[in-house]
Amino acid sequence: MTRRSSRKSRLVTLALSGTLLAGCAKREDPNDWADSSEVVTNNTYRPHLGYYHSAYGGWFPFPYNSFVPGRGYYHGGSFSPAPAPVPPDVSRPKAAPDPYVRRGGFGGYRYGGS
């Protein structure tokens, strides 16, 4: 093996090791996100949870009534041709969401749950 290919091999091994270790990092427990008495405003964003929709009492991957060309207005987990009514400003979230917001992209893992 030449010196150049040996160095390249070590770099590839190092990169793969780092990737594997990063993938094994401890994830935040989705049930620890808030006190059950906490009041949350509409469109509050939390990492790994997404955006809070006060009208639905849950967390979603897009802001309430956000518009996506060709799909429509997003609210409560689906798209519609018209925006949803203005939700209450604040509410108490229901039970913890289905663990993590799935944003797609490379890897597309799903953490926790079944």
Cβ proximity of 61 and 15 under 8 Å: no
Residues 79 and 73 sit within 8 Å (Cβ to Cβ): yes
For residues 44 and 28, give the distance between their C-alpha atoms in angstroms, rounded to a whole number. Answer: 18
pTM across the whole model: 0.51
User: Which residue positions in the chain have pLDDT lower than 70?
Assistant: 1-7, 11-12, 14-37, 90-92, 94-114
- The predicted pLDDT at position 88 comes to 72
pLDDT at position 24: 53
The three-state secondary structure class of 59 is: strand
Domain map (residue ranges) of the chain: 31-91
Looking at residue 114, its pLDDT comes to 43
